[in-house]
Structure formats: C-alpha cells, structure tokens
C-alpha cells in the first residue's frame, strides 16, 4: 500500500498532525522509538491531553498504524519529523532526536520523497544539519528529493485552535520544495502561509515565542514593583486592555513553563551568540526575570506566613495546580517544580492537589497528593494557587483557607486572600 505520510515522533505535535491527516483521508503511518508509546497507541490508549481514547479509536479506524520499525519511512511519499528538541547543556537545542530521525530517513530515502522538519530549533538547522545527512547517500535536496521546514504551532489544551485551523507556516529549501510542502499541508490544514525559505520559517517560530517570553517578563517585573507600590496590577491590565488597538494583555504568574516559552527563545539567543558573537539582550533579560519568579513567589509566601506569626519551617503549604498550563496534565518545565523545591529547602511541609495529576513525577512521595481537597485547604497554613484549573471553585477555596495566595489573579482580594 502506498503511504501518504509517515510521522516521526508521536507526541503532542505528531499525534494531532496524524489525526488531521487521517481525517482528510490520507494513508498515515507513525514511527516512534518508544515501544511503550507505540504499543499503547495501537491498543487505543492515548498518552496526550489533546487526543482522547475515543478520538484515537477514530484515527485507528481510519487505517493509522504506529511502529518502531523504520521501514515505514521507505513507503511514504512525505516524512514529517516531530521529535523533541530540549535545551542542551550549552544552552542550545539538543538535536540528538532530530539527528537520529534524519539518519533513519536517510537510510530509507527514495527519490521524490518530501522531508519536512517541524521540531523547533535554531535558524539554519534544516540546511546545515538535516540536508547534509540526507544528501550523504547520494541524493540531492531540491533535485532528487524535497526538503522543507514547517514550525509546529500546537497549543496543548486549546479548544479553539488545533492543527487544522492554525495557519501553517512553510519554508522550502527551494521554491519547488516549498510548493510541495504547501500542497501537502493544504490537504488537511485550512491556511498555509509561505515563508521565503527554511531559515525564515525557523525564525518565525522563534519570534512568536520570544515575543510572548519578553511580554510575560514585562508583566512579571511589573507585578513586583506594583505590589511594593500598593498598585493592583490585575486592575491595571483590565483597564489597559480596553484599548482596541496597540495593546495585547499578558499576565504575570509564578514562572513560565511548557515546551515553548522557557526553551524556544534560548535557541535564538544561542544562535546569535554562536554565530555573531554578541548577546540577544532582550531574551537574556526576559529569561532572568522569568526564572526568578518562583523564588519571588516563595518569598511572598514566607511574608504571608510571617503575618500570622508562622515560620516557614514546619508550616503546611498546599499547592493547587502543578501543571504548566490550565486544564491539562502536562508537567513539562512547570514553574510549580522550583516553587515546591524552594519551599522544601526552607523546611515547609509541602503538599499538592491537581485534578489532572495524581502523582507528581518531580517529587514522588516527598510531596504527597492530598486525598481530600476541602480538608487539606482547611488544614493548611497557606494555600497557593499556581494553576487555575476550571475544576477549582477558587472563591470557595479562598474562603475556606487560613491564607490564600493567588498567583493567577482570579480570586477577589481580601484580608486573607492575596494576589501576586
């Protein structure tokens, strides 16, 4: 059977892509080196928030199969790489998963194949890393096979925008490569946006998340001095966002998390330093501000306990919501981890509750999940809302708390309710 596309990496990026391609009638295969993930998917069990088991059943009924055998690459007209690119020790992207995927493609590359990299990385990766590996076997990009970059824009938990209706940026190694990639995505994505080339498409993704990173840092910095000046920043933002032009609301919080904001801007900063020899100062300052927010939250927590003549050491602190964003189970780079770690270092008895997490992978039994939320709130010396899951009745939780520290600006402030 001819395969339209093989997707390499079946996680938060790859699986939604598979879903839309199958819905459009494409013959789709998946490749992942994690045998547990592959077996679970083929058995109908999804491991990501955005794809339910019922939706996965529809995908499987559409003919999708996952495999750990790289031979599924050779059968495909198009191969899309959707593997993680975490930060390496040098501050740049760790490309081991990308390079491993590309080597697997190179071993199975046939003339006419379209290869697309979706994994976020620094500008130049497609041309400088991916292309040489693929061409080592004798085929030439732009002549014998097609090569393109199309940044993933998946926003886990977003009910409004998914893989189909989020515009797809595409940059080809050559204009013809771009044409092929645009035609491929046009089969199941509503809008395809052509970038000049692969470097422009790579940089577009980094610009999107650098913009968010810097603006989040701005309001995080404002949260600190507004608190010291007795100014309600949340009210300030509500007033400012009534302007119908020239302003986009961003909100402070206990830090930044997930697979994009804490990581992607560093790719750009790393690339600027490595290739040009000078810093990307906006990014580095934003990183400094955002990474110190957990410590600021812990300091505020200590100050609130002091108001009750309670030392941090031995105090019971209940953390609500430990995922990096609301209404999902994803814990990647969650700022709740450094908050909890610093509370523990100061001697606090830390506990947590999260409707999406039963066991906190970062701490195991050291930070237990409370079995009874209402009882835990009443017993805690301080309750800290780190993530505003829709399952929480914040007003009721705040009313039942001895002290309630809201880092998300959703509780009405009062004598015993305090906002970031």
* Enzyme catalytic residues: 260
Beta strands in 55-191 (DSSP E): 65-67, 76-81, 114-117, 146-149, 168-172
Q: In what order do the strands lie in the sheet with 114-117?
A: 65-67, 28-31, 3-8, 76-81, 114-117, 146-149, 168-172, 192-194
**CA-based nearest residue to 19, from 74, 63, 77:** 63
d(CA 101, CA 77): 16
Burial of 112 (0-12, 13-18, 19+ CB in 10 A): exposed
H/E segment holding residue 353: strand 349-353
For residue 310, give both structure tokens. 């309670």
Residue 408 near residue 234, CB atoms below 8 Å: no
- Contacts for 6 with CB less than 8 Å, ≥ 6 apart: 28, 29, 30, 31, 72, 73, 75, 76, 78, 79, 80
Strand 146-149 versus strand 168-172 pairing type: antiparallel
Give per-residue burial for 370-398: e unless 16+ CB within 10 Å, then b. beebeebbeebbbbbbbbbbeebebeebb
Q: Is the dihedral of CA 130, 136, 140, 144 positive or negative?
A: negative
Strand 28-31 versus strand 349-353 pairing type: unpaired
For residue 24, give both structure tokens. 């459009």
**CA-based nearest residue to 384, from 356, 420, 414:** 420
Residue 41 near residue 34, CB atoms below 8 Å: no
- Contacts for 385 with CB less than 8 Å, ≥ 6 apart: 320, 321, 392, 394, 397, 404, 405, 406, 407, 408, 410, 411
């Amino acid at each position: 059977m001819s395969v339209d596309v093989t997707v390499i990496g079946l996680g938060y990026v790859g699986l939604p892509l598979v879903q839309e391609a199958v819905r459009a009638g494409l013959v789709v295969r998946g490749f992942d080196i994690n045998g547990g993930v592959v077996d679970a998917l083929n058995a109908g069990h999804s491991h990501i928030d955005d794809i339910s088991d019922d939706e996965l059943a529809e995908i499987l009924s559409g003919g999708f199969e996952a495999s750990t055998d790289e031979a599924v690459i050779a059968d495909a007209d198009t191969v899309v790489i959707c593997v993680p690119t975490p930060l390496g020790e040098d501050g740049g992207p760790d490309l081991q998963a990308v390079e491993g995927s590309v080597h697997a493609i190179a071993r199975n590359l046939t003339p006419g194949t379209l290869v697309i990299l979706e994994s976020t990385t620094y500008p130049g990766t497609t041309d400088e890393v991916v292309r040489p590996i693929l061409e080592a076997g004798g085929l030439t990009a732009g002549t014998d096979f097609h090569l393109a970059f199309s940044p993933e824009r998946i926003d886990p938990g977003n009910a409004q925008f998914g893989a189909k209706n989020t515009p797809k940026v595409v940059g080809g190694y050559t204009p013809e490569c771009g044409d092929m990639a645009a035609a491929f995505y046009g089969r199941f994505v509503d809008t395809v946006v052509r970038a000049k080339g692969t470097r422009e498409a790579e940089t577009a993704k980094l610009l999107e998340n650098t913009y968010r990173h810097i603006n989040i840092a701005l309001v995080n910095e404002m949260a600190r001095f507004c608190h010291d000046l007795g100014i309600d920043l949340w009210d300030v933002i509500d007033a400012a966002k009534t302007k119908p032009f020239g302003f986009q609301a961003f909100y402070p919080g206990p830090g930044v998390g997930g697979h994009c904001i804490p990581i992607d801007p560093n790719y750009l900063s790393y690339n600027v330093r490595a290739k040009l020899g000078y810093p990307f100062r906006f990014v580095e300052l934003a990183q400094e501000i955002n990474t110190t927010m957990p410590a600021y939250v812990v300091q505020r927590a200590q100050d609130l306990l002091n108001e009750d003549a309670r030392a941090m050491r031995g105090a019971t602190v209940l953390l609500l919501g430990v995922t990096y964003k609301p209404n999902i189970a994803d814990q990647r780079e969650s700022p709740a981890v450094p908050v909890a770690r610093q509370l523990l270092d100061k001697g606090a008895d830390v506990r947590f509750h999260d409707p999406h997490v039963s066991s906190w992978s970062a701490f195991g039994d050291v930070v237990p999940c409370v079995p009874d939320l209402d009882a835990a709130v009443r017993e805690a010396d301080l309750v800290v809302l780190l993530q505003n899951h829709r399952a929480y009745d914040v007003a009721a939780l705040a009313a039942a708390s001895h002290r309630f520290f809201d880092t998300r600006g959703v509780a009405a402030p009062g004598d015993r309710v305090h906002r970031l």
